[in-house]
Amino acid sequence: MSKLHPTIERVTQRIIEKSKDSRRAYLDLIDREADNQPERSQVSCSNLAHAYAGALEDQEALKTNTGPNIGIVSAYNDMLSAHQPYGRYPERLKIYAREVGATAQVAGGTPAMCDGVTQGETGMELSLFSRDVIALSTGVALSHAMYDGMLLLGICDKIVPGLLIGALRFGHLPAVFVPSGPMPSGVSNKEKQRVRQLYAEDKATRAELLESELGSYHSPGTCTFFGTANSNQMMMEMMGLHVPGAAFFQPGTKIRQALDRAAVHRVAAMGKDGNDFRPLGHCVDEKAIVNAAVGLLATGGSTNHAIHIPAFARAAGVQIDWTDLSELSKSVPLLARVYPNGSGDTNHFHEAGGMGFVISELLGAGLAHADVIGVGEERGMGQYAQEPWLDEDTLKWRDTGPSGNDEMLRPAANPFQPDGGMRLVEGNLGRACFKSSAVEKERWTIEAPCRVFSTQKQVADAFTAGELDKDVVVVVRFQGPRANGMPELHKLTPALGVLQDRGYRVALVTDGRMSGASGKVPSAIHCSPEALGGGPLSLLEDGDIVKVCAETGELSTTADLTARTPAPDPVPDMGTGRELFAMMRSSADEAEKGGSAMLAVAGL
């Protein structure tokens, strides 16, 4: 392992310095929590009886307090293909716990909404705040003080960040995240994108589109493109919160079950009564957060994590912002091209060497912290730079070797591009994120008259009417956390992609989010401050010249905004439960801090 790269060292030290007070407060909190958690033998017998009554065959072990009791927090539902495999997990995890003298109980469940199902629908306005609901649900699940460790079952977009935020407030306990793996590959992503664009141009029927989509999303497991869900799994590996190498083995396979078993055995071994105590709050430190950011950049992961990383970092007392991400991006090379940044999917990435290869390359180039604690049998990141395999029925690890596909994975010495492709753009229109790794370099700079919209439907109507057949910067405002919950605007991608394919120079500027599945069209997203309440986007008018430049980091207009009156704030819509989230909208902070009302009001 090489000496740490100076940029990684510099940014890490800056994060440590600005987090000094908040991190100290967090560590003091979890130390107090560890001291205050009562031994179960001292808890009221009535309380214990309530907790043990449903334990059936584990009841005797719980009564005699013979081993650690592990709390399972599950995001199971069978509407999400990624979470459908979790239905049978509790019974298996309990068996694995008994093998090492432990017990396990389902502490609670969390909601798990699917952004793929709610794209373009009103339910998407609940999506970002579902992360906070998941964190709250995790807190409720763990509030019973019955547990010596945590197993966290979740995969998709807001679910892993939400589980992590909630679990970190119980950071005096050890924890392991337990993924279930991606579905097998189906219709190629290139073909799926082709049919989507044909449909956008009215050249394919709805039946043809549905058949194509079902060919891609076809069975239990995570969607195979490298969106937010699979980026989550990548980051859990980079932070050392999985059993090493667990991210991308498919559901139902023998090695997947062996990795699940290892997860239970590891969390049981890391309790405070053993000789390998690893509380979650100490595992997730400044170095682990930097590793998550580095992994995101090196793999071209989802832009949603420009919001999630600052949010879950705050839960651990760590302060990281888009300046840090952008500076890291300048030194972290792009090692992977996975759809939407390449033709292959997550399964192809895994087969080519996957996370073991990526981590090995990053550590070898001094681009990641090797001394993150992790949850593997060996402390540090060394085991994460390998791949797990089964020697008959025994789980072992081995070196990954060179990339198995140079079109999918490349070494740090010969990357796809020299930087990580997530850039900060800023100027008189605010601060925003630009995912340059997904965009051809000749499109990194777009300067054109803008068209201003307040909804995705308005954009779609203008596209259908031919009003956007020109060089244009499409501005979609009032899509921030306080306006409508900051929904993903993935439905914009096919129409804007068509315009780009017709030869026009097109860009998107928005205070909303774009899906982890989005790419191709240059986009300044998460624009902060948001338009609601008079942010700069609220002052733009049709025809203003707007410039978006990833090369120079510019997001600006030549228009004089000083004398303009902001466009009126929209009246919040009701229905689909959106009105129940009014308190979250009204208290949410800016996207760069994570867009969270819960963390803002808590003073974190």
State the Cα–Cα distance between residues 443 and 439, nearest whole angstrom. 7
On the CB side of 181, CA atoms within 13 Å amount to 22
156 is in an annotated binding site: yes
> How far apart are alpha carbons 204 and 191 in whole angstroms?
13
Distance, CA of 379 to CA of 388 (rounded, Å): 16
User: Minimal CA–CA distance to 114: which of 138, 90, 130, 137?
Assistant: 130
Question: With b meaning 16 or more CB within 10 Å and e meaning fewer, what string describes 310-347?
Answer: bbbbbbbbbbbbbebbbbbbebbbbbbbbbbbbebbbb
Q: How far is CA 287 from CA 67, 230, 234, 328, 598, in A?
A: 32, 21, 16, 13, 25
Residue 306 · residue 526 · CB < 8 Å: yes
Q: Could you give the angle at the alpha carbon of 378 between the alpha carbons of 377 and 383, nearest 5°? A: 100
Q: How many alpha carbons fall within 13 Å on the CB side of residue 456?
A: 22
Contact 227, 515 (CB under 8 A): yes
Q: Are 66 and 148 in contact (CB under 8 A)?
A: no
Closest listed residue to residue 383, CA positions, set 268, 266, 285, 294: 266
With contact defined as beta carbons under 8 Å apart, do 463 and 199 qualify? no
The pair of three-digit structure tokens given for residue 514, joined into one six-digit string? 């774009």
Are 485 and 587 a contacting pair, CB within 8 Å? no
The residues that bridge with 399 in the sheet, in sequence order, are 386
Pairing of strands 472-476, 394-399: unpaired
- Crossing angle, helix 6-18 and helix 286-299, to 10 degrees? 130
Give the gyration radius of the chain's Cα atoms: 24
User: What's the CA dihedral at 128, 132, 137, 138 to 10 degrees?
Assistant: 110
Query: How many other CB atoms are found less than 10 A from the CB of residue 66?
Result: 12
What is the distance between the alpha carbons of residues 376 and 293, in angstroms, rounded to a whole number? 20
Contact (Cβ atoms closer than 8 angstroms) between residue 505 and residue 448: yes
How far apart are alpha carbons 437 and 302 in whole angstroms?
A: 11
- Please check if 223 is assigned to a binding site: yes
Tell me which DSSP letter residue 592 carries.
G
In the annotated binding site for [4Fe-4S] cluster, the residues are: 156, 223
In the annotated binding site, the residues are: 156, 223
